[in-house]
Structure 1
Amino acid sequence: MATGPRDAPDRAGRRLRSLDLLRGVTVAGMITVNATAGVQRLDGPVFPTLLHAEWAGFTLADTVFPAFLTMVGVSIAVSARGDAAGAAATRRVIARAARLILIGLLLGHMFFLADFTRFGPPRLPGVLQRIGIVFAVCALLYPRMGTRARAILAGVLLVGYWGLCLVPVPGGGATDLWVPGRNFVSWVDRAVLGSWRYVKGPAGFDPEGVLGTLPAIAQGLLGTLAGDYLRRGLPVRRAAQRLAGAGLAGIVVGLAWGLVFPIVKGLWTSSFVLLSTGITVLLLGAFHAWFDRDDRPARTGDFFGSFGRNAIAAYVLHEVASLILTGDAMQLPFRWLAPVVGTQVAALAPVAVFVALVWWPIAYMDWRGWYLRV
């Protein structure tokens, strides 16, 4: 546990509250999405936009995880120091990535570690595991590659991944990117991960699988490009306008590419990367315009800011506390409201209670200046 502000300073010396607040919005969205999925398993229909698309498609829930990867890249750029290419910095990057991966493995196997026979087999990939890998690769490349080189590498990864997705499936199976599991990328997950993947069966795959890490790295690299722009110390309004323009361009190109390369979170397709990155960068531009102005005072204990400044602590806490979603007490608001407002609206009540329960200790940590640094 460390104390002190977590905002990342840009070259001009300002604190990028926009990045913390956008990260906080994303954390709150993650908790909401995961809690909604938990409530759905217990009580029935919820708002579909708060659930991930079953395969091809894009919902509000699908914006959350890629936003984290984009902001990993932004944070790497705006917080980079002059010794980032040194041996000591390299060791710090590798150690931090290893800790993220270890935390992800422990959180993902809480039940398995408690009862080997009942819960299993374990799953190797996961959210923090992918974040750790993307962070390590982008943080190691950032001080060694210029802006243009990283942009080219991101493009090569996205186009190259499109080609990998179109490779014929070994064994003669037909490739169809619109159908889960019927593609080369999913075949690699089955071959490499075996039963240690999220979706089992002959058409199984993992949404954080092996080859899908390549476009995820490209997403982090695109985030570093946005971070480079923020480091220049341009007037806030001009920087925000250009970020918004870049975000809109990413959205348009992602949607257009999606006509031939479907937008699929489970495959982390290149069109999905551009669309989700565009949304994140567009929001970053809007947040930068409003919250990084000199007349906007900093605050502690605010809802989104607390989540953003202590994102890892919030993630760990919500994973551990998710057990309470299955308790009768958490279901009482749903049962009271469902006959009056319907199940979809009523399902938001336990979700809101859960988000508030996670936020309260995180806000207290923020007030006290306690921040979990991995």
Structure 2
Amino acid sequence: MMSTWFKKNDGVNLPPPPPKPLPRRELGKSTMNEQTDSAFLTRLPPEIRNEIYALVFGAEDISVFHQNCWRYTTRETKNKRPQATRVAKSRLHLHHLDLLLTCQKINQEATVLAFSVYTFTTTRPSHYSDLKRRTAHLAPLQFENIRHFAYALECDDPFYATAASDFIANSLLLFPGVETLQLRVKTRSSKHVCMGYGLEPPRAEQHAGLEWTVAELIKRHVPEWWSTVVFQVLQGRSVAWQPGNRWRMEWPVIEMMRSGTAKLHSPDQTLDKWVPGVEVCDCGCGEATWLTAHLVQETGRRVSISIAYYTDHEVRDMRERDGSYLRLKEGAEELDVAEVYTGNGAAGFIWDADKAYWEGLRRRNGGVTARLPEGVRNLLGLK
């Protein structure tokens, strides 16, 4: 019977096995060149170098959210300089972590700092097993120093609330040193991110124990889907938090009001000062939205969670930097190109350059004869 069963299922297409995880990195195991000729490494004191490293690795760019950012943590620095070809020159992209590839000396002294200030960003659904697999190759020192993590979402529709809460909860569970978690959400000017007075208030349990004024403020100024995300994290939808490890939510505005550092003006409910984490709604309605909150664990651990909206023009700028769009230089114009096909099915483009183009190219390059030795030019009668 067993033999017959296997014969009948020989044609079943089983899914491929998961990729083999990368080997875990070991820091400081290879022989290192001390770079004694480098003025940066020998003349600048460590404090100044650390300031420079922090500026490079901590430079915030909301549009950088490639899911393969982890690959910059495992590439070897030796023999990785791009070849001086036309393709390499035109496709050379800069990344905040590229400085780690300069030499082993910089890699060794700046890796921990880089991991502690750089914001790693993913665009993939952040299940716990997936996050763990994608970071399994990191050295323990690197993994423990990840402080900032972000998840790029298409929009703030309630459909994405579950994925957002999964990201926050699984990141809290997996990364012991994480301090900030951010949801980077694409929005448009017509998108209203505030709840507004006309909407039903959130579920009562979200505001249990809060006075009416605070509940009304949260209702008015916290986007509905953002409130849902935080609620799902606290209630253990993704991770069942055990006694002693549970979390509670703090809003910076409310804490400043309770401490007396910020006051609320009635009846318009506006604050008398700017508060971190409070921004004006992107749709132009003038309402203030609370986009930052703090999760405080019973153990005393504190993690900041926030939303950052980016607009369509930022995506366009990112694509231009990545080469998806080409920006014409001043004085340039589009060329009349023709599409051509080869016998093997490949396609390409061709442009029939005129005489003026080739003369201009030779003039810009100094002419072919300009590169010949002076004696050869005199022999050929060339000027």
TM norm structure 2 = 0.24
- Structure with the greater relative contact order (CA < 8 A, sep ≥ 6): 1 or 2? 1
Flag the structure with larger Rg: 2
Q: More helix by proportion, 1 or 2?
A: 1
TM norm structure 1 = 0.25
